Amino acid sequence: MAIFEMEWIGLIITGFATLFLIGEVLVNMRGVFALLGIGFITVYFGAYVEADSIIIMLIIYFIGLLLIIIDGKLLNDGTLATIGLASMLTAVALPAPSFTSGLYAVLGVLLGGGASFFFLKVFKRREMWNKITLKDQLTKEAGYNSLNISYEQLVDKEGLTLTDLRPVGTIRVDRKNYSAISNGQWISKNTKVRIIKVDGTKILVETVE
């Protein structure tokens, strides 16, 4: 078809494909955006890729999309997102009939991906992400306590080492055994110690003078 001979057409097709596919991930459109996105990207590969290679290119493209989703919703360190974006860009650039067409296709992916976030202002966000993303801060005001209360009460109490602390070992305080760590010192067994700091369940001790 003559329309596919136009170098800029790749920008339109890959742009809409990425727009709808990422949009489906972000908002609840009951699969409508997904179908549109798959349709656009299939048309693109169908126009420029040999029939026996379409599936391979689709897999590369969707693996890239999946990596971006995983990074954005679970890991948030940017590594998988970078790999995923590179995979998507490679998938649309390689089949392009010319260098310029490839640049247009790459630009379409970038623009479509960025524009998809505008859907969040119009449609309802997918609730499935709320189930795996912890939004509340773990503060005392919210009913959480990062410091184990029973351990917090041990500060300034004295105990006895049951093992050598090298620098980690076991101590006994109030007839209970705890794992403790010295401040870089080697403390021998059966030495009297005082708890000077507690961080979560980490107990720091020093010898009693």
Mean pLDDT of 82-105: 88
The per-residue pLDDT of the chain, averaged, comes to 82
* Mean local confidence (pLDDT), 73-82: 75
- Under the banding of pLDDT at 50, 70 and 90, the label for residue 196 is very high
Inform me whether the pLDDT recorded for 167 exceeds 50: yes
Query: What confidence tier does 133 reach under pLDDT thresholds 50, 70, 90?
Result: very low
Is the distance from CB of 22 to CB of 65 less than 8 angstroms? yes
Instruction: Give the pair of three-digit tokens for residue 13.
Output: 């097709």
Residue 146 has pLDDT above 80, yes or no: no
Per-residue confidence (pLDDT) for residue 150, from 0 to 100: 76
CA gap 23, 119 in Å, rounded: 6
More confident call, 193 vs 202: 193
The string of DSSP codes covering 94-114 is TT-SSHHHHHHHHHHHHHHHH
pLDDT for position 76: 65
Q: What is the pLDDT of residue 148?
A: 59
Model-level pTM? 0.55
Note the pLDDT tens digit of each residue in 35-66: 998 899 888 888 888 777 788 888 888 898 88
**Could you tell me the pLDDT band of residue 180, with boundaries at 50, 70 and 90?**
very high
> Residue 28 is which amino acid?
N
pLDDT at position 131: 47
Q: Which of 149, 156, 197, 148 is nearest to 173 (CA)?
A: 156
Q: Of all residues in the chain, what percent carry a pLDDT higher than 90?
A: 21
- List, as one string, the DSSP characters of 22-74: HHHHHB--TTHHHHHHHHHHHHHHHHHS-GGGHHHHHHHHHHHHHHHHHIIII
Paired residues of 197 in beta bridges: 204
Residue 181 in this model has a pLDDT that exceeds 60 = yes
Query: What mean pLDDT is predicted for residues 131-135?
Result: 47
Mean pLDDT of 154-164: 92
